[in-house]
Amino acid sequence: MDRYVVKRPSGEAGGGGKRPRPEAPASGQPLWQEIRAEGLSCDYRLLFSKAEADEIFQQLEEEVEYFEGEMTKLHVFGKWHNIPRRQVTYGDPELTYTYSGVTFSPKPWIPVLNHIRDRVTLDTGHTFNFVLINRYKDGGDHIGEHRDDERELVPRSPIASVSFGACRDFVFRHCDSRGKNATRHIEPIKLQLAHGSLLLMKYPTNVYWYHSLPTRKRVLAPRINLTFRKVMTVVKK
């Protein structure tokens, strides 16, 4: 079966992370790993050294303030559910973002988020004005299969997904191969998103592929994921 499993380069495991990662690692491991399939185009790399990632993770835990109350619940198919994770959005003022029929205003940027965003921009050449943060407290927290609603994003702009904390499995599934009425057999693509990693999801991935973060009971530690986006600033009537 086709599986696309991304692992950390061995040179990074447990290393002190004192020196900046060379552009052409001695291991021969390419800096970026290209993940390609029909209608899917993603690039994966480790963005931060372990020391940097540890520091950022700690800062995120101290400084990010998650939504509370009503905003932690979701109304779908006539039922209210608690979202099985914590969420919050940060971004440029005056932007809005609609999720399940509710329009949110992002919180203003804080230094640790600026730092991550600027590093992503430096590495990818893409700018971002908005970030959705999801915190999965352990392997029981998850997100079901979905596509990101791209109607509010700048057309064809990529989404940059940066992960800190516990390494979690991440699954892409093609829209034509989902469920009982699937019209085609296309293997899901399974990745592991490591501490300090960046997954750049490029057009048209989100058009054809759903993604999810399945439960993993053996994972006991939290993971924080940030998805940087470029939201359109059009005025809605």
Partner DNA sequence: TCTGAGGCAACTCT
Partner DNA sequence: AAGAGTTGCCTCAG
Among 64, 143, 166, 193, binds DNA (CB under 7 A): 143
CA separation, residue 32 to residues 61, 159, 215 (Å): 28, 16, 27
Residue type, 48: F
* Helix or strand (DSSP H, E) at 171: strand 168-174
> Candidates 36-44, 111-119, 157-165, 212-220 — which segment interacts with DNA by CB under 7 A?
212-220
What phi and psi, each to the nearest 5 degrees, are found at residue 41? -145, 105
Q: Minimum CB separation from DNA for residue 52, in Å?
A: 29
**56, 48 in Cβ contact below 8 A?**
yes
> Candidates 71-79, 89-97, 111-119, 223-231 — which segment interacts with DNA by CB under 7 A?
71-79
Task: Supply the DSSP symbol for 213.
Answer: E
User: Is 139 part of any known ligand binding site?
Assistant: no
Q: Is 146 in the site for DNA (CB under 7 A)?
A: yes
Residue tagged 């509010």 (tokens): 152
Q: Is 3 in the site for DNA (CB under 7 A)?
A: no
Rounded-to-integer distance, Cα 111 and Cα 43, Å: 26
* Residues in the chain, total: 237
| Minimum CB distance to DNA smaller for 81 or for 156 | 81
| Minimum CB distance to DNA smaller for 168 or for 202 | 168
Q: Is 84 in the site for DNA (CB under 7 A)?
A: yes
Residues that bind DNA (CB under 7 A): 74, 76-79, 81-84, 100-101, 139, 143-147, 151, 169, 179-180, 188, 214-218
